[in-house]
Amino acid sequence: MNKIKKLSLTSKVLIGMGLGIAVGLFINLTGVNVKGGFVNTYVVDGLFYVMGKLFINALKMLVVPLVFFSLLSGVCGIGHLNVLGRVGTKAFVLYILTTAIAIAVAITIAATFDIGQGMNLVADTTFTAQAAPPLTDVIINIIPSNPIEAMAQGDMLPLIFFTVLLGVCIVMVGTKAKDIVAGIEVANEIMMKMVMIVMVVAPYAVFALIAKSMAELGIELLSHLAGYVLVLVSALMVHLFFTLMIILKIFSGLSPRMFLRKIKEAQIFAFSTASSNATIPVTLRAVTEKMGVNNAVASFTIPLGATINMDGTAIMQGVASVFIANIYGVDLGITGYLTVIMMSVLASIGTAGVPGVGLIMLSMVFYQVGLPVEGIGLILGVDRLMDMIRTAVNISGDAVVTAIVAKSEQELDQKTYDDPHAGTFAQE
């Protein structure tokens, strides 16, 4: 019993994930998950669904107040406007760079393997596409006409703009605002305590989320789209374990092995929730407590990354574009591929980090390069699983950029980063 109690939260979550995969596959392979049946109604769509949904709602409940107070605390903590501008510029450039590299790598891998060539699939699922919003609307919507409404709707980009502007003004007021700054820091601490409370039930929620996904997806569905799935997963892994780690090493000199060890818990949560926004609390704690990044920097770069950095989603768009183009016999050519890269980078800036948003972005890309949008129906079946994997890659990119920026600003504690046991997560 004592050994079980001493298990770290990461270990408990991994156990929950493993049990979830086993139970979900058992339910799927035995055929008991029949629509309307007892297991489907009361276990998969009942118990598992409710447990998972409650946990995701709890994480989402924290996102807006956590982003608001942590970002505000971060801006006030940085203190000097020229430093804030430097940190913001570095983060933005690196996020755009990693996204562009991600989709270029994905297109290269997908084109090399020529996935979808010669296939004659017929989409049995329809997908209602959304036209890409005009660039003018994307720019205009960055500034909220009503910041309270932006908070209520969870619109991250307008929320970030308002919060940063408010923080800048507080810094400009100077010593007169010291009591407000102290109050913001306390509020931020309170939000982190709330995160700790929610994390206590995480292993059970992860079990429910994974079990439900595996019970519904199973192995048979994956076999129908094996080429697409294998190439997409390969591209995601190449970007995570090679591209991002090379970027981390070149720009910061930090150990990639230590980074991967310390980000794994956040990756598990990203995989389980398929939401970059919902994973913000866990990612924040990973980079500050385990990697030693100053909270002032992390509180600024992590929420920003969850909003504009979509490496995993960009990779999916590159692979899917090649896959659908080959199926329908469309030759994209160099111009088409460059357009896909440009559109994916632009689309990632104004897109929320929530489950399923990748398909909306993909429809915009397809419109732009002339691919049949109904082709998205072919990959709908496996998109939930792919969404989980690419979200883990997304938050890893957020953490890499945060570590690089913090190191360049001397805002990273090297001793904490090098200590494999640094940082505590609830019961860890």
Identify the pLDDT of residue 359: 63
Please state which of the ranges 167-181, 243-257, 405-419 shows the lowest mean pLDDT: 167-181
Average pLDDT over residues 196-224: 75
**Alpha carbon of 239 to those of 153, 263, 289: distances in Å?**
32, 15, 25
Q: Are 33 and 27 in contact (CB under 8 A)?
A: yes
Identify the pLDDT of residue 247: 94
- Tell whether the torsion through CA atoms of 305, 308, 311 and 313 is positive or negative: positive
Q: Which residues of 173-204 are buried (b: 16+ CB within 10 A; e: fewer)?
A: eeeebeeebeebbebbeebbeebeebbeebbb
What does the alpha-carbon distance between residue 394 and residue 244 come to, in Å, rounded to a whole number? 11
Whose CA is closest to 23, among 54, 44, 9, 46?
A: 44
Average pLDDT over residues 312-331: 81
Identify the pLDDT of residue 428: 45
Query: Hey, what are 123's tokens?
Result: 């989409």
pLDDT 10s digits, 232-264: 889 999 999 999 999 999 999 999 999 999 998
More confident residue, 1 or 358: 358
287 has a pLDDT exceeding 80? yes
Q: Which residues contact 313 (CB under 8 A, 6 or more apart)?
A: 344, 348, 351, 357, 358, 361, 390, 394
Identify the pLDDT of residue 125: 44
What does the alpha-carbon distance between residue 395 and residue 133 come to, in Å, rounded to a whole number? 25
Please, which pLDDT band fits residue 9 given cuts at 50, 70 and 90? low
Please, which pLDDT band fits residue 227 given cuts at 50, 70 and 90? confident
390 has a pLDDT exceeding 80? yes
Enter the pTM of the model.
0.69
Average pLDDT over residues 100-110: 86
Q: What's CA 166's distance to the chain center, in Å?
A: 26
